[in-house]
Structures are given as C-alpha cells and as structure tokens.
Amino acid sequence: MSLFVKKSVSQLMADAGDSEKGLKRTLGSGALVALGIGAIIGAGLFVRTAAAAAQNAGPSVTIGFIVAAIGCALAGLCYAELSSSIPISGSAYTYTYATMGEFMAWIIGWDLVLEYAVGAATVGIAWSEYLNNLLTNVLHTSAIPYQWCHSPFEKSLDGVQGIMNIPAFGIIALLSLLLIKGTKESAFVNGIIVIAKVAIVILIIILGWGFINGANHTPYIPEAGTYTDHQGISHTYGGIMGILGAAGVVFFAFIGFDAVSTAAQETKNPKKSMPIGILGSLAICTVLYILFAHVLTGLAPVEFFRTTGKEASVAQAINTFMPGYGWLAQLVTVAILAGFSSVILVMLLGQSRVFYSMSRDGLLPKVFSDVHPKFKTPYKANLIFLGVVGAFAAFVPGDIVGDMTSIGTLFAFMLVCIAVIILRKTDPDMVREFKTPLVPLVPILGVIVCGAMIAGLGWTNWLRLGGWLVLGVIIYFMYSKNHSKLRNPDKS
C-alpha cells in the first residue's frame, strides 16, 4: 500500500462521532475566540515587540506585525475552511491525512511537536523568569535562588551554577493537571485570564498614547544598515529587509490561533464556531498588536530597548517614561505571568489533541488516545507531556527554541494552504460551511508569504528542522507504518 494512502473525509467524520470513548463537546464560539486570544497574546506581545524594534526595525516594527499578520490571515482562511469542513481533533495533521496521505500526515504531526510541546516548554521558562520579577519588583520579597530557577547548562554572572528550573516545571505540571480535569474547566480559567490581560493591554494603549514622543518615531522606517548587539551578533536593521526581519521575529507573537482547530471535536457547533474562533481571535490580536507596538516604540527610543529596557521591556518603559504609573508596570508583570500561563495551557491542549488523533489512527501507541472515564480527556497523554515538557522546561535553556517553534509552525501553515487546493479538486462536492475566498490565489499567497518568513529564519534553523524531521521519518518506518489502522485494518 502506498505511503500516501489517504483517509477519506467520510471516514474521518465517522471516527469522530460522539461515543462513550469520544471527547466531550463543551466549547462554543466565544470560548474558541478566547482560546485563540489566550494562545496568541503572551510572550510575543510582551517580549518580542521590543526585541524586533531593537534588532530589526525600530518603530516600523508595526509594519512587521502587519506583514506577519497577512501571512497568518492567509493561512487562517485556509484553516477556517478545513476546520469547518472536517471538524476533527488534530489540526493540520488531520487535514493532511485527508489530502496528501499518511506519510505527509505523520510528518506534519511530528512537526507540530515543535510548535506545541517545545513552545510550551519555552514559554514555561519565560514564565519562571517573570515570576522572579514579580517577587522582587511587585511583592518586594526575595527572589528564588538562581540555581533553582535555571537549568544545569546556565551560570550566573557571579558564577552560580543552575541545577533545576523548579518554577518552569511547576507551571507545566499545574496546567497539565488542569487539562486532565476537563476542557470546559480549562477554557473557563483561560477565559478569566484572557479578560485580565486584554484589559491590561488596552490600558497601556490608552494611557500610554498621551506619553508618545514623536521624536522616537522619526524616522519611522530607519535607514538600512546593520546592528551588532552586546553579544557580537549582527542583525539587519532598517529598510525593507529590517521590516521583513522584524516580521520573522514577531511571527512568534501570532503562534497559537491555529491551536483553536485542535479543539474541533470538543466544539458544540464546529462548522459555525471554528471559523469564528480562528479568524476572530486573529483579527482582535492583530489590532491590539499594532496599537501596542505603536505606543511602546513611541514611549522609548530604540537605544532604550537595547540597554536598560532589554529585559522586562514593557514594565521598564512604563516606569521610566510614564511617571506616576508605576502601578501599571506592576499590573503588566502580573498580566505577563497570566498571559504566559494561558499560552502554555493552549499549547499543551493542542499537543495532546494532535497525538490523540495520531494514536486513534494507530500511528502512535494507544496510550495517547486513552480517555479518562469521568473527565473525558486524554489524561494519559497529558501526564506523558507533563513529564516530557516539564523536563525540557526544568533542565534545558530556552534560548534558540523560539525560532524552532516558528519554523515548525510556518511549515504546518504551508501544508494547510496546499491542503485546501487539493481538497477542492479531489472532493468538490463536500459541504463547506466556510469557503476560503479566491482559491487557489489565497492559498498560494499563503504558501509564498510563509515560505518567505521561513527563508528569513536562516539556514541554521532549516538544518534543525531537517534533523527533527529525519528523526520523525525513522520513527514512522520503525513503528507507525506497521501499526497504521488504515494500512493494517486487520489490526484495528
């Protein structure tokens, strides 16, 4: 049987039918929009905005956000069509199985680990850093000792060696247990967090607008050149290439809206709610991002984000350039912790649901699709990811993983765009509650824009992605190919 054997849409829908072993449908449109916002607004907004301004584009980082948003919107339109037509857990993995066959589906499922599991661990490490900021600058208590909030591969400036990042492991464990309790409960907690952090973002935009210094926005697009940071790393700065570089950096800020599609099988009316959840969360976050970036780069000069304001940039900018608003800086710190928490929550949800679908298809061991008899969640998968993701967060530094997360996600976006074109040809009569406009133009543009951002991430990340995919291919031929239910129906 061919490596590219496809799973029919009718079979996918049959497999997803509600049953005693099925996932419980509890989510509505509002919960999905909140889920998307919860995944999107977090590390990207509060950390990557200042980094992109300092290293790549200056105040024109806002244009970088627009470029990244265009790429996400094009892919989002394709996600909306597929998730409303094939409302199954598994996201890009499921869509690829129906259009490009099993082997490509395995590749994309394996690739999504870079987005969800590695992304969750990375944000968990950032959460740990901001916890110390909360303890020292907001609660005015002692910070957690360096050795217990850093990995064994890190050493402080005064020579203290890290042992284990306990806070990072702790937040991963806590949110994993929350997911086991139930998706509805997790969505409720996420909804509270979303309301709080969006309110803080809006406050910064409204209150900070009056403190914008026009000189910081002049010139809005800096002259093309290079910038070398304190570590000796050179960055393309200013001009068109600087804006494109910023788009690649802030793309990390948009990662998450596609995680909405992984909850399709737990949605009450997926054909209506999926497009609303995906496109609604993306639209809201794009507007907030552009306004937030405009205010932040107007408050402080670029040099500030390269020096004093490099760490905890938003809080530092408020404390320095908005006198009398120290309380807002403290709220920002709390919002950052809440934002990171909701991002981790949605990433862990997405990872467990992708592996749930792959396990149901026989490509992974059955343990990943075992559903809790009471909570109706894939609890064993959540426990496994608690250990794996928690260990990564506790013992590995979180330096380069952001780019790995971005490249894995962009690759998934490209395949989703291609899947729309293929499915329009192979199954033109399928009921589509939402249709991507201007097919094949929109999907092709999505592939081009996402491909351009991948190219901007550099050959080292291409190499890392290639190595990761090679490992996935080895696992497929050693295990998945022989246990596939589609290829081996007698083993089902």
Tens of pLDDT, residue by residue, the chain (492 residues): 567 787 776 776 666 554 334 556 667 777 777 777 776 776 677 777 888 888 888 899 999 999 888 888 888 888 878 776 776 655 678 778 877 888 888 988 888 887 788 888 888 888 887 888 788 878 888 889 989 988 888 777 677 888 999 999 999 999 998 888 765 555 666 667 777 778 888 999 999 999 999 999 989 998 888 887 765 667 778 888 888 888 877 887 787 666 666 666 567 776 677 778 877 888 888 899 999 999 999 999 988 988 877 666 888 899 899 999 988 988 888 878 877 887 788 788 878 878 888 888 889 998 888 888 887 788 888 899 899 899 988 988 765 666 777 788 888 888 889 988 988 988 888 777 778 889 999 999 999 998 888 877 667 778 888 898 899 999 999 999 888 888 877 765
Predicted local distance difference test score (pLDDT) of residue 266: 65
3-state class percentages of the chain: helix first, strand second, coil last, to nearest 5: 70, 5, 25
Torsion, Cα of 387, 167, 165, 313 (10° steps): 120
**Measured between alpha carbons, how far is 359 from 7 in angstroms, rounded to an integer?**
14
Predicted local distance difference test score (pLDDT) of residue 23: 54
**Measured between alpha carbons, how far is 76 from 446 in angstroms, rounded to an integer?**
9
Looking at residue 231, its amino acid is Q
3-state SS assignment for residue 445: helix
Predicted local distance difference test score (pLDDT) of residue 88: 63
* C-beta of residue 340 within 8 angstroms of C-beta of residue 126: yes
**Measured between alpha carbons, how far is 425 from 99 in angstroms, rounded to an integer?**
10
**Measured between alpha carbons, how far is 64 from 62 in angstroms, rounded to an integer?**
5
CA proximity to 172, closest of 385, 479, 440:
385
Read off the tokens for 118.
């590695």
CA proximity to 206, closest of 121, 149, 291:
291
Beta bridge partners, 234, equal 228
**Measured between alpha carbons, how far is 435 from 455 in angstroms, rounded to an integer?**
29
Domains contained in the chain, CATH given: 9-487 (1.20.1740.10)
Q: Give the residue carrying structure tokens 């780069």.
A: 297
Contacts made by residues 202-207, CB under 8 angstroms, sequence distance 24+: 202/288, 203/328, 203/331, 204/292, 204/295, 204/296, 204/314, 204/318, 204/328, 204/332, 205/288, 205/291, 205/292, 205/295, 207/322, 207/325, 207/328
Predicted local distance difference test score (pLDDT) of residue 21: 47
**Measured between alpha carbons, how far is 61 from 55 in angstroms, rounded to an integer?**
10
Beta bridge partners, 149, equal 165
